[in-house]
Structure 1
Amino acid sequence: MSKSVKVACPQCQKKAAWDSKNPYRPFCSERCKLIDLGAWASESYQIPSSPSEEEYGEYSTGLDANEKPFTPTMH
């Protein structure tokens, strides 16, 4: 008789069986699985990244907020 491996549920930390008899693994229950899914859907989990061109706009100046752009004058 083999003993099933127990892991901590990522949501509630309750010990859950890590085997084919647990359809919600690594979660302990459907409830914890749905809470986690909801967090992903509401973008509560985010991977940090650098600001994209889309966030700055297509024609970003590349200047800091306090910098003034150089504008040549014509004489």
Structure 2
Amino acid sequence: MPTQVDCPTCGSKVTWSPKATYRPFCSERCKLIDLGEWANEEKAIPGEPAQIPEQSANDDF
């Protein structure tokens, strides 16, 4: 029996196979909705913010 997963966006069932072009999403629309949520920073991976070291004006690149 093929593995089925829920689409992360709408929850519909997706058969996990090479024929499922947008897996784990059910469609390109659901994939783009998810991408937009990440781009708008509506979704994030939990954790501490990255620490970017400060550079002085004398640092060589």
TM-score between the two structures when normalised by the length of structure 1: 0.58
Q: CA deviation at 1:17?
A: 1.1
Cα distance between partner residues in 2 of 1:48 and 1:24: 25
Counterpart position of 1:29: 27
Q: CA deviation at 1:24?
A: 0.2
TM-score between the two structures when normalised by the length of structure 2: 0.70
Cα distance between partner residues in 1 of 2:10 and 2:17: 18
Structure 1 residues without counterparts, runs of 5 or longer: 59-75
Identity %: 55
Structure 2 residues without counterparts, runs of 5 or longer: 55-61
SS in 1 for 2:36: helix
Q: Which has the larger radius of gyration?
A: 1
Output the aligned Cα RMSD.
Answer: 2.0
Higher RCO structure, 1 or 2 (CA under 8 Å, sep 6+): 2
